[in-house]
Amino acid sequence: MGTNELNRGLEGVLVAETQLSHIDGERGELVIGGFPVDELAANATYEETVFLLLHERLPTASELGEFRAELRAHRDIGAETEAVLRRAAEEDTPPMDALRMGAPTASLGVEEATDEEAVRRVVAVFPTVVATYWRYRQGAEPVAPRDDLGHAANYLYMLTGTEPDEAAVRGLETYLNTVADHGLNASTFTARVVVSTESDVVSAATAAVGTLKGPLHGGAPGPVLDMLRTVHESGEPEQYVRETLESGERLMGFGHRVYRVRDPRAAVLSDAAERFYERGGDVDFFDTVREFERTAVDLLAEHKPGRRLETNVEYYTAALLHGVGVPQELFTTTFAVSRVGGWMAHCLEQLDDNRIIRPRSRYVGATDRTWRSVDDR
């Protein structure tokens, strides 16, 4: 690549080496910490996945117990953070804005001696911030975290005040594992840029949340659920797809910038959703999800021959999170609850062999201007 070659969006530009995840877009493969995503997501707890990302190996039983205890010890938020979240809820602030406001304040009164300790605090506190905001938004008091529940179960418990059943916990756990890391996506790259200046990991997480808030990065599962509900009510998947394509609109939940085949995360979440709905979810709704996928893939192939536009992670994210009871308004913040583990691992990896991230730009503006005083302009 020549030094003056322009790559918009840094597409194809290598800026880091990582041991955290590997994407093969042509073959539809994702490896996280050395494990195929389907093997890791279906078997691990979220705590095991985060430990793997932070330490490049799975924990022993004793290490896992210690790591869980460390996360539990960092779940609580102070009155200052609760006040911010209450105000955000009263003003109908969108959930991602509430997370952006609340998460940084959670470091008040907490002194972390090392970056590793601060990382554990950030990972542990994200679910509490989201759930506290949501309880206030519903006109209810926050539910305090429980020390006897794992990360995924505790998140669902804080949202509802009711201990979730095993099927819901496993479904959410699989989701959190599946999306914990995914290369140098926009929010992860942002986190690495921030810490490359030797800033702190809380600032990096806050900046990453701001990046994830953008609809081009993390905002599609909500519209996917709207689409699936519409199709479920009408019972006309083919009509919906044809009308969408003929109008020139994008069919949400299909296609991906990186993957040229089916998103491997969609396969993992598809299996997880099927297991969940078979245990007592809304089977009729899930039948619609399956039928719509088959119909859309066939019609997309007909509409755009030569291109393979199949389901991406957002399609089955919508089906699974809806099934386990996560409110639609919290789909993107729940994505952040997972991805923060990847953000923090990337921060530590960046700091381990740091060089400030400083790309170049090409100037295309004027070069021949002469200064005039304000009276002569």
CA angle 84, 344, 39 (to 5 degrees): 120
The answer to whether residues 4 and 362 touch, using CB atoms and an 8 Å cutoff, is: yes
* Ordered structural domains, the chain, with CATH: 21-216+328-352 (1.10.580.10), 221-324 (1.10.230.10)
Q: Is 356 helix (H, G, I), strand (E, B) or coil?
A: coil
The answer to whether residues 369 and 77 touch, using CB atoms and an 8 Å cutoff, is: no
Supply the Cα-derived Rg of the chain in whole angstroms: 22
Q: Is 112 helix (H, G, I), strand (E, B) or coil?
A: coil
Catalytic, out of 182, 256, 322, 346: 256
Pick the closest to residue 342 from 218, 182, 206 (CA basis).
182
Catalytic, out of 47, 310, 314, 349: 314
Provide the terminal-to-terminal Cα distance of the chain, rounded to the nearest Å: 43
What residue ranges in the chain does DSSP mark as E strands?
21-24, 29-32, 35-36
Q: Cα separation of 154 and 143, whole Å?
A: 10
Q: Calculate helix-pair angle for 331-352, 115-137, nearest 10 degrees.
A: 170
- Tokens (6 digits) for 60: 């022993």
Q: Cα separation of 34 and 137, whole Å?
A: 40
Q: HEC string of 245-304?
A: HHCCCCCCCECCCCCCCCCHHHHHHHHHHHHHHHCCCCHHHHHHHHHHHHHHHHHHHHHC
The answer to whether residues 50 and 341 touch, using CB atoms and an 8 Å cutoff, is: yes
- Tokens (6 digits) for 38: 């389907």
- Tokens (6 digits) for 24: 């093969």
**Going by C-beta distance under 8 Å and a sequence separation of 6 or more, which residues neighbour residue 255?**
309, 310, 312
- Is 314 an annotated catalytic residue? yes
Q: How does pLDDT run along the chain (377 residues), one tens digit per residue?
A: 456 787 787 877 888 899 999 999 889 999 999 999 999 999 999 999 999 999 999 999 999 999 999 999 999 999 999 999 999 999 999 999 999 999 999 888 777 778 999 999 999 999 999 999 999 999 999 999 999 999 999 999 999 999 999 999 999 999 999 999 999 999 999 999 999 999 999 999 999 999 999 888 877 789 999 999 999 999 999 999 999 999 988 898 998 878 878 899 999 999 999 999 999 879 999 999 999 999 999 999 898 887 778 899 999 999 999 999 999 999 999 999 999 999 999 999 999 999 999 988 888 999 999 999 999 99
Q: In what order do the strands lie in the sheet with 29-32?
A: 21-24, 29-32, 35-36
